[in-house]
């Protein structure tokens, strides 16, 4: 069931949000309406497309690419429990919910890396994220270990990951070019958002987005000769 959610003015200038494309930002806000009161939902790109983009020319693969973009910017987290995929909105404590319903979706096994981590909510720090005296709660040692590590300057995908990309139809030249972009982006990125638990998985997500960007865009179909075309438009 869809729910009414709130959005704060700080959302529009948040560092994580402004790094996303316009479509990804719109999708992010739309996810709030269809997540439960814990910020979780079953992950199905086709279902999300029908709920948030019902009249738009975007495929399930396109929605997955946008979700990957949000994940790379630390706004959502995908996880699997019992071979079922789920999505967790990060920083969910920015939503002040009266009488929240108990979630029927299993908790992320790495729960400290999910919506209730010590990372700042995407709409700015509000009262909901503070203690009784209005002071930020210090992160626990248990939470710190889930922050991951920064990308090493000499990081490369291992041979298994590299060959899997090649066998999927990606050229070595394209992989090498995106690998260099990947290094440049993450090594130059500052702050705690530059740390990841699994850089190999982060690179997989990066390549999904890269292939989506490189895919040819389909324009209007040309009108066959002899068909009725009062405007004369040929696409």
Query: What pLDDT shows up at residue 125?
Result: 41
Answer whether residue 220 is part of any domain: no
Assigned domain for 235 exists: no
Provide the pLDDT for residue 115: 36
How many structural domains comprise the chain?
Answer: 2
Q: Quick one: 122 and 203 in the same domain?
A: no
- Average pLDDT value over all residues in the chain: 76
119 and 157 co-located in one domain: no
95 domain-assigned = yes
Whether residue 96 sits in one domain with residue 177: no
Q: Do residues 37 and 108 both lie within one domain?
A: yes
More confident residue, 219 or 123: 219
Could you tell me if 117 and 158 lie in one domain?
no
Quickly list DSSP for the chain: --------GGGGG-HHHHTS-HHHHHHHHHHHHHS-TTSEEE--HHHHHHHH-TTSS--HHHHHHHHHHHHHTTSEEEEEETTEEEEEETTGGGS--SSPPPP-SPPPTTGGGTTTSSSPPTT---GGGB-TTSPBPPPPHHHHTTS-BPPPTT----HHHHHHHHHTT--HHHHHHHHHHHHHHHHH--SGGG-BS-HHHHHHHHHHHHHHHHSPPP-PPPPPTTS--TT----
Q: Provide the CATH number for the domain around residue 128.
A: 1.10.10.10
108 and 174 belong to one structural domain: no
Q: Is the pLDDT of residue 74 over 60?
A: yes
Which pLDDT band holds residue 12 (cuts at 50, 70, 90)?
Answer: confident
Q: Do 189 and 132 share a structural domain?
A: no
Same domain, 111 and 203: no
Residues 156 and 193 in one domain: yes
Q: Is 234 part of any domain?
A: no
On whether both 75 and 35 belong to a single domain, the answer is: yes
Q: Which domain holds residue 207?
A: 148-215
pLDDT digits (tens, 9 = 90+) for 177-228: 999 998 888 888 776 667 887 888 888 888 888 888 887 755 555 555 554 5
Residue at 223 is within a domain:
no
The per-residue pLDDT for range 78-118, each reduced to its tens digit, is 988 888 999 988 866 566 666 667 788 888 776 544 333 33
For residue 47, the model assigns a pLDDT of 93
């Amino acid at each position: 069931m869809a729910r009414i959610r709130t959005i704060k003015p700080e959302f529009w200038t948040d560092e994580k949000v402004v790094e996303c494309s316009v479509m990804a930002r719109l999708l992010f806000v739309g996810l709030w309406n269809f997540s439960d009161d814990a910020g979780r939902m079953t992950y199905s790109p086709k279902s999300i497309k029908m709920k948030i983009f019902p009249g738009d020319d975007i495929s399930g693969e396109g929605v997955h690419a946008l979700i990957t973009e949000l994940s790379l910017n630390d706004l959502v987290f995908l996880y699997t429990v019992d071979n079922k995929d789920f999505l967790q909105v990060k920083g969910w404590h920015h939503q002040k919910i009266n009488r929240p319903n108990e979630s029927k979706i299993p908790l992320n096994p790495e729960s400290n890396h999910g919506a209730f981590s010590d990372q700042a909510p995407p709409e700015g720090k509000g009262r909901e994220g503070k203690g009784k005296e209005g002071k930020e709660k210090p992160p626990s040692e248990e939470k710190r270990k889930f922050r991951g590590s920064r990308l090493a300057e000499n990081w490369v995908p291992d041979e298994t990951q590299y060959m899997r990309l090649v066998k999927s139809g990606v050229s070595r030249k394209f992989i090498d070019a995106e690998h260099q972009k990947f290094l440049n982006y993450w090594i130059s990125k500052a702050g705690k958002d530059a740390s990841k638990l699994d850089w190999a998985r982060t690179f997989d997500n990066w390549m999904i987005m890269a292939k989506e960007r490189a895919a040819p865009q389909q324009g209007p179909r040309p009108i066959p000769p002899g068909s009725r075309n009062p405007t004369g438009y040929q696409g």
